[in-house]
Structure 1
Amino acid sequence: MEKIDHLIHAKWIITCEEAQALLENHALAIRDDKILAILPSKDAERKYQATSVHHYSSHAVMPGLINSHTHLAMNAFRGLADDLDLMDWLNHYIWPSESKWVSQELVYDASLLAMGEMIRGGITCFNDMYFFMGATAEAADLSGLRAHIGMTIIDVPTAWAKTPEEYFAKALEFYHQYKDKKRITPTLAPHSTYTVSTEHLIKAKEIADTHRLKINIHLQEAPAEIQQSLEKYHKRPLERLQEIGMASPDLIAIHMTQVNDNDFDILQKTKPSIVHCPESNMKLVCGGCPVEKLTRLGINVALGTDGAASNNDLDMFSEMRTAALLGKTVANDPKAVSAEKVIKMATLNGAKALGIDHLTGSLAPGKAADLIAIDLEQIETLPLYHPISQIVYASSRYQVAHVWVAGKQLLKNRELLTLNEKELLNKAQYWGKKIKNSV
């Protein structure tokens, strides 16, 4: 018998490969940090001798969810300012609070809290954009999650940097520190076209091209952003990015709720990835991303939660359900944004956006053992006819029982294995009291 590290048996395995596969009574053979094989459980028992054997007899095993847009440290401001439009929320509540409280200590503590929430919600990889990136990277290293960490560029002084030159210098410093880390990948993150000048957008693109980095940017999120760009530049934000060559497959355009026919033409020609954040967009009344039309045009659409200050959680199960329902409404078609499509938006499409679909995002031999087990034999999800539909339309993150990243278990029977839950709760209460007493 062939020796391996882990053998995971499951009632269902959902591969999320391009040709979607739903396998019953199969097993995953894992050696080192990768999937060695997927085969029927009976065959696996005859072929492999595993150091550890796991039987997920009432579970669906699928790729770990990829949260393609986050601001993790904003967990510290969850519920601080609700029921406002985007610009009011930013200008009068969030940016003043960040100016007062954001620090290395807060970002580390709040990021750990967010990572605990994400692990328990089946998220194995995230794409972040915030300040004090080293604190987020340090937290990710401890948690065991796969992390893409955006090096923020913004023409606004903050506790992190006072000038654009300082933002760029600190970004490059972070890049050189983390470029060779196994689970941590730097990306470049100019905040938006309304907070970063054309000159600095061009510089960001030059740095990204030099170091072969993905670029994250909030783009065409709300009507006010379009209006500001037209008044100041006589062009829509996407047109400005196309002119400087930033619109490309290396661009991760976040939100894209405001899309006209010319935008569709540009997107179809340049093929950036879009990250849809439906619950944040709905809460801030930003509009709805036209997911169905984008995907029909061959544009990759991934899924993200945005930050917990505008959502107010990091719940990708809720995000999948909302994306499916909103997608049908926007397209006026009940067949639009199906369960199968939205589950790929939360897995394989996220990996494609980040440029790591060769590594993760689906379950296949040779890919990283990034996976979750969802207990579907619960009152809330029985009877069960179609596991994929049940996951999207009926299940919750509280049914995630087990989480693995790179062959290491991070959650076992809902218990965090790499993070101390009591410490996370204490830190959350500490920051909550401190911030509340100053408001």
Structure 2
Amino acid sequence: MKKAYLHVHIVTVDDQDRVWPDGGILYENGTITAVGESAHVEQIARERGAEILDGGGKYLFPGLVNTHTHLYQELTKGLGSDLSLEEWFPKAMAPVGAALREEHMEAGVALGLLEAIHSGVTTVADYMQHQPVPGLGRVELDVAKQMGVRMVYGRGYRDIGRAEVVEDAAHIFADVEDLKARYVQPDGMITVWLAPAASWGLSDHLMRETRRYADATETPIMMHLFETGSDEAGSQQRFGKPAIEWFEEAGLLGPDLLAVHSVALGSAEMEKYQQYRVMVSYNPVSNMYLASGSAPVRELKERGLAVALGTDGAGSNNNNNMLEAMKSGALLQKVVHRDPQAMTAGEMLRMATIEGARALGLGDRIGSIEVGKAADFFLYDPMHSPIACPVCGTPEAALVYSGDHRAIDTVVIQGQTVLECGILTKGDEDAILVQARRMADDLLCRIR
């Protein structure tokens, strides 16, 4: 398939931050083959017999990359309101996790991906933290394939906690191998990672086995780290040493580790992150919702570390809206530092696109509008939203500070249009909403 959009305002987020006010993009078989001035791209598109569409002056951005969520939690919105992390997990999420079944998983993932698409997201990193019954990974990845969303699936696990969800290493890694064999293809639409639970859900043995398997199979790791002071307190109690020392000795730290949250960091932790080139997923809305604090984003970036953006799950956010996460994330940093330049709109857009892609090992494939990369992008039309209209400053500032899902007009992933004129193309939106409500009611009945 060959298709071109002309007369769009393209924000490339490439290494030069190039912008084409009257730009064009041509993509063929899922890959961008031309980008630049509209007239130039039009000539190439006509020579190659591409379908040509007039973008009508809409803004074109790279698809947003959500580097952390829990899609099943779409069925739990508001369930754990006004609690700290230490109260929220055992009271709200642990019972839900033990009761999850295939039908809940399917409904929650479909709703979460629907919400993601409507906020301009083309890639989702989902940490599926509970595995109370076999096959939940297959359910999730089947939904992702059906809806056409690029998915980094984190196969969650623990060996400490409720009996319904603990597993041994052999079973965990066998399931990871099965998922890789079933779903991972050269197109990069689905990748499978290890997602060990937070430190309080893991034995030292399983931590070390995680690193052994990761090295042997080149499988990256995503893990909740230093979300609050619980990691530190637990390590001191269990091993009599700082958590960062335990993580280092167990082999957890490395450039293939995506450390989610990373709020409760001191200089020692940041030095080790820097030494091992650990990547970070910043989840500002969740961190505020649970009163966990704020990640030291500026300090981490000053150390040259990759810091990306995530929503976290709807259980500690109440949505999967990356537009909200961008605004909240930028404003939170400004408040923490009392500096309006602590996080600019341009920096936040990069965190939500190219830095997110790099954090997920996909920086050579997605995250910016460049020839040779996958056609993952969205068209943004402020005229569809009283919140988004008008655009008086830069497009980046308009998206970050007055972004609205109603202005997300079209979403393209790997060259496939998954949202067109605000309408889902790969599924029945009303049916997804109805089923999500039914399954949420069913899940709540199971835990009460």
TM-score (norm 2): 0.93
Counterpart Cα distance in 2 of 1:217 and 1:149? 12
Counterpart Cα distance in 2 of 1:113 and 1:262? 40
Q: State whether structure 2 residue 221 is matched by structure 1 residue 215.
A: yes
Q: State whether structure 2 residue 442 is matched by structure 1 residue 434.
A: yes
Question: Shift in Å at residue 164 of structure 1?
Answer: 4.5
Q: Map of 1:20-419 to 2, 5 A cutoff?
A: 20-49=17-46, 50-100=49-99, 102-130=100-128, 131=131, 132-155=136-159, 156-157=161-162, 159=164, 162-180=167-185, 182=187, 183-377=189-383, 378-380=385-387, 381-419=389-427
Q: State whether structure 2 residue 6 is matched by structure 1 residue 9.
A: yes
Question: Shift in Å at residue 161 of structure 1?
Answer: 5.7
Counterpart Cα distance in 2 of 1:22 and 1:344? 14
Runs (5+) with no aligned partner, structure 2: none
Partner of 2:195: helix, strand, or coil?
strand
Counterpart Cα distance in 2 of 1:383 and 1:116? 26
Counterpart Cα distance in 2 of 1:363 and 1:108? 32
Counterpart Cα distance in 1 of 2:237 and 2:17? 46
Cα deviation 1:114-151 (Å, max 9, x = unaligned): 11111111110011111421111111110101001011
Q: Residues 260 and 70 from structure 1, CA distance in 2 versus in 1: closer, same or farther, beyond 3 angstroms?
A: same
Counterpart Cα distance in 2 of 1:387 and 1:344? 13
Counterpart Cα distance in 2 of 1:168 and 1:30? 38
Partner of 1:17: helix, strand, or coil?
coil
Counterpart Cα distance in 2 of 1:179 and 1:367? 19
Counterpart Cα distance in 1 of 2:181 and 2:195? 16
Partner of 1:257: helix, strand, or coil?
coil
Q: Residues 65 and 18 from structure 1, CA distance in 2 versus in 1: closer, same or farther, beyond 3 angstroms?
A: same
Runs (5+) with no aligned partner, structure 1: none
Q: Residues 181 and 430 from structure 1, CA distance in 2 versus in 1: closer, same or farther, beyond 3 angstroms?
A: farther
Question: Shift in Å at residue 167 of structure 1?
Answer: 2.7
* Structure 1 contact 154–191 (Cα < 8 Å) conserved: yes
Partner of 2:65: helix, strand, or coil?
strand
Counterpart Cα distance in 2 of 1:298 and 1:319? 22
Counterpart Cα distance in 1 of 2:399 and 2:19? 13
Q: Residues 175 and 11 from structure 1, CA distance in 2 versus in 1: closer, same or farther, beyond 3 angstroms?
A: closer
Counterpart Cα distance in 2 of 1:235 and 1:255? 21
Partner of 1:345: helix, strand, or coil?
helix
Counterpart Cα distance in 2 of 1:399 and 1:425? 20
Cα deviation 1:369-411 (Å, max 9, x = unaligned): 0000111245433142211111111121221110000111000
Which segment drifts farther, 55-64 or 335-344?
A: 55-64
* Structure 2 contact 104–443 (Cα < 8 Å) conserved: no
Partner residue in 1 for 2:433: 425
Partner of 2:21: helix, strand, or coil?
strand
Question: Shift in Å at residue 162 of structure 1?
Answer: 4.5
Counterpart Cα distance in 2 of 1:125 and 1:315? 13
* Structure 1 contact 68–304 (Cα < 8 Å) conserved: yes
Counterpart Cα distance in 1 of 2:191 and 2:357? 13
* Structure 1 contact 85–285 (Cα < 8 Å) conserved: yes
* Structure 2 contact 391–398 (Cα < 8 Å) conserved: no
Counterpart Cα distance in 1 of 2:166 and 2:245? 29
* Structure 1 contact 70–305 (Cα < 8 Å) conserved: yes
Q: Residues 26 and 158 from structure 1, CA distance in 2 versus in 1: closer, same or farther, beyond 3 angstroms?
A: farther
* Structure 1 contact 187–214 (Cα < 8 Å) conserved: yes
Aligned residues: 435
Give the counterpart letter for 1:121 in structure 2: S
Give the counterpart letter for 1:41 in structure 2: S
Question: Shift in Å at residue 170 of structure 1?
Answer: 2.2
Question: Shift in Å at residue 320 of structure 1?
Answer: 0.4
Which segment drifts farther, 284-293 or 51-60?
A: 51-60
TM-score (norm 1): 0.95
Partner of 1:319: helix, strand, or coil?
helix
* Structure 1 contact 370–406 (Cα < 8 Å) conserved: yes
Identity %: 27
* Structure 1 contact 10–61 (Cα < 8 Å) conserved: no
Partner of 1:217: helix, strand, or coil?
strand
